[in-house]
Amino acid sequence: MSSAAEQEAVPEAEREDRAEGAARSVHPAAVLNGRRRPVPPVPVWPGAPTPLGARFRAGPDGAAGTNFALWAGGAEAVELCLFDGQGAGSRETRIPLTELTHEIWHGFVPGVLPGQRYGYRVHGRWDPWTGARWNPAKLLLDPYARAVDGDFGLPAEVYGHVRDWPQQHVADTVRDERDSAPYVPKGVVVHDDDDWADDHRPKTPWADSVIYEVHVRGFTKLHPDIPERLRGTYAGLAHPAAVEHLVRLGVTAVELLPVHQFAHEDHLLERGLRNYWGYNSIGYFAPHAAYASSGTAGQQVGEFKRMVRALHAAGIEVILDVVYNHTAEAGELGPTLSLKGIDNRGFYRLQPDARRYADYTGCGNTLHVVQPQVLRLITDSLRYWVTEMGVDGFRFDLAAALARSMHDVDMLSPFLAVIAQDPVLRRVKLIAEPWDVGAGGYQVGAFPPLWAEWNDRYRNAVRDFWHHALPDVREMGYRLSGSSDLYSWGGRRPYASVNYVTAHDGFTLRDLVSYDRKHNEANGEGNRDGTDDNRSWNCGAEGDSGDERIRALRRRQQRNLLTTLLLSTGVPMLVAGDEMGRTQRGNNNAYCQDNETSWLDWSLLREPGWRVLSDLTSRLIALRHRHPVLRRRAFFSGRSHSADGLRDLAWFTPRGAEMTEADWYAPAATLGMYLSGRDIPGRDGRGAPVLDDSFLIVLHAGERPVEFVLPGPPWAEHYEVLVDTSREEQAQAPGVTHRADGPITVPERSVLLLKVTG
């Protein structure tokens, strides 16, 4: 129980709750296996407090074994639990770890080899009113486990408190004494002997990157050319058929939705659903076991590494979407799986009453990143995935939550400071989702140099322009040219902006032009989940339509959105399947749809209407790769650097005149953007100036054609049309040339890309 001083500080109503919970601290049906099992005579040597986790190695006399080390601040005792066999027949051997160094419990156990399944039981006080939630009846996953065997089913036994206690307002204070070991996965000892000497990281410069957001399972689950036993796995993504599609598109990096070991929420399991996206992490070092084809007794580690090698060999980087802001243990009414039972107060942000959790994530808890042990956990995990698993960067889910100091978001926070000086992490790609759900959590444009950011202002502006919903074109001008208003400070570059029109969270590209509202009924939440701010347009009918005019308009709008994205300055991010017309049938929050709703339908590529969309995507990415003016490493100046007055960037109205201040503030459906290839900052690898072609991009969102006067000298003498999104066939350039100073007809709702030819 807590001290007298702590009791005095608790409000009377909560003291009554505490008394009620303490009086009923054992579930009526709960007994811890009748009695404590005797400790078998297993030898355990002192071992070492570092590195944390389970590391197979040779002991002091050369004997093979495993060193176990667990940080458990405030704990009174720690038992290492080894398991032989699986399921109900598994035999548990408990070994007390008696060595304690700087709050790290450790020991070396000779004879423990790779493949051994294990967990921990941590002893300490049960006093939820002060944040203490130790419960040795609960088997805990090692936070540093390199592999995890088994799945989280979340029955009542895995909760540290009595989940079904009649008085729910005090349920989290009543300790559950039932053993959770039969119901939870175990960590697996892994042999780290992999040699990366034959791996060659692509090291694609930021400005040259094209990111492809992909789900390991969903990308390959229905692929007809991948063997069935490999579909939905790391090996499936490494298969030549999967890699060939990525290479044909021309993307330079895959951004994998979470592959850290994660758990399914109990409310989903009750409805017969599962967490598909994976934003519910519980093991920050372990590849999610369900994505392995080769086994889950450590084989998933090698399979993941082979996938990375295969992608690297094709010139494709691997970026992980990581969730360090919260864990699958949720709030005070959530399960006890790992950190909550190791040191609840040391790992999680708690509210002033200490019983409940500070929740800046909307998921029940928030990791307390200010604490040294939490910083160590996160940075050790990140370094592990770079140095031992071969990945090339990370996208941080709800990164603003990681940047909070005690309460507010702080760009000088310990987390950002540690990353900035780390010799391994500061060299990889770092992408922030620059917001969380707490007060002051929206931080787009605020992250420091080294970081790129998901730019939702780009997404909103482009969607609104093509829906013809912008009051003027100022916002669109900034977003097309690299968002200098957000990122031109502190040495940041245009590639700090990760531009996207769609992401996993929201409508697919096809659904964006097919639905005015979300249709999430299949999620079982009464269509209340998912955003209502979709900025979408169904083109005249909700959902599938047999009207060919509507279908053609939708295909054109998708071409417009993709073309805008891939011609914009910044780093484009595509979502897997958008290039082939994937649909979720209006579900804009398919996080729990592990089925055909979310999986890629590869048969779409056999349909001419969608194949040409894929061809256009490939053509546009190839254009980016060929032309440095489309992937600039510095912001435009808008100033003339030559006697003829030609500037690196200029904007034009349909009259062929440069835009004035008044034009920027006026409603407009048409925008001309001139990019000069003569004035690109920087030099190539040999010190020579970077020169390129010049281009005129005309975006027209109006519902009727418009006459556009092509700018004459010094801008150009002639223009050649390279892309015209009004055309269905996009396998090659139209090849039409126009004289400058004359009008051309820009079809309704279309983009023209014109190259200056003289």
Which positions are catalytic? 397, 433
**Side-chain-facing half-sphere of 42: CA atoms under 13 Å:** 21
What's the rounded Cα separation, in Å, for the pair 261 and 26? 31
- Contact at 8 Å (CB) between 229 and 293? yes
What's the rounded Cα separation, in Å, for the pair 655 and 653? 5
Could you count the other beta carbons within 10 Å of the beta carbon of residue 340?
Answer: 26
Beta strand segments in 642-715, E: 649-652, 670-675, 680-683, 689-690, 695-700, 706-709
One-letter identity of residue 150: G
What's the rounded Cα separation, in Å, for the pair 727 and 723? 9
- Contact at 8 Å (CB) between 501 and 563? no
Structure tokens at 553: 């308009």
Please return the burial class of 410, using the count of CB atoms within 10 Å of its CB with bins 0-12, 13-18 and 19+.
Answer: middle
Rounded (to 5) percent helix, strand, coil in the chain: 30, 20, 50
Residue 599's Cα: distance from chain center in Å? 17
Q: If we measure between CA atoms, which residue out of 418, 420, 450, 405 comes closest to residue 432?
A: 450
What's the rounded Cα separation, in Å, for the pair 539 and 599? 25
- Contact at 8 Å (CB) between 148 and 261? yes
401-405: long-range contacts at Cβ-Cβ below 8 A with a sequence spacing of 24 or more? 401/325, 401/326, 401/360, 401/361, 401/366, 401/367, 401/369, 401/436, 401/438, 401/441, 402/324, 402/325, 402/367, 402/369, 402/378, 403/443, 403/447, 404/360, 404/366, 404/369, 404/370, 404/436, 404/438, 405/370
Find the helix or strand (DSSP H, E) in which 436 lies. Answer: none
Pairing of strands 91-97, 77-84: antiparallel
For the beta sheet containing 737-739, the strands, ordered from the edge strand earlier in sequence to the opposite edge, are 649-652, 670-675, 695-700, 750-756, 718-724, 737-739
Q: If we measure between CA atoms, which residue out of 206, 225, 205, 223 comes closest to residue 214?
A: 223
What's the rounded Cα separation, in Å, for the pair 236 and 219? 9
- Contact at 8 Å (CB) between 363 and 317? no
- Contact at 8 Å (CB) between 233 and 293? yes
CA distances 560 to 466, 565, 727, Å, are 8, 9, 11
**Side-chain-facing half-sphere of 570: CA atoms under 13 Å:** 31
Structure tokens at 270: 């009750």
Helix axes 608-626, 548-567, angle to 10 degrees: 10
Angle, alpha carbons 427-433-434 (nearest 5°): 100
What's the rounded Cα separation, in Å, for the pair 329 and 334? 5
| Partner residues linked to 738 by β-bridges | 719
Q: DSSP class of residue 38?
A: P
**Side-chain-facing half-sphere of 3: CA atoms under 13 Å:** 3
- Taking the CA atoms of residue 598, residue 600, residue 603 and residue 609 in that order, the dihedral angle to the nearest 10 degrees is 90
Residue 417's Cα: distance from chain center in Å? 21
- Contact at 8 Å (CB) between 351 and 342? no
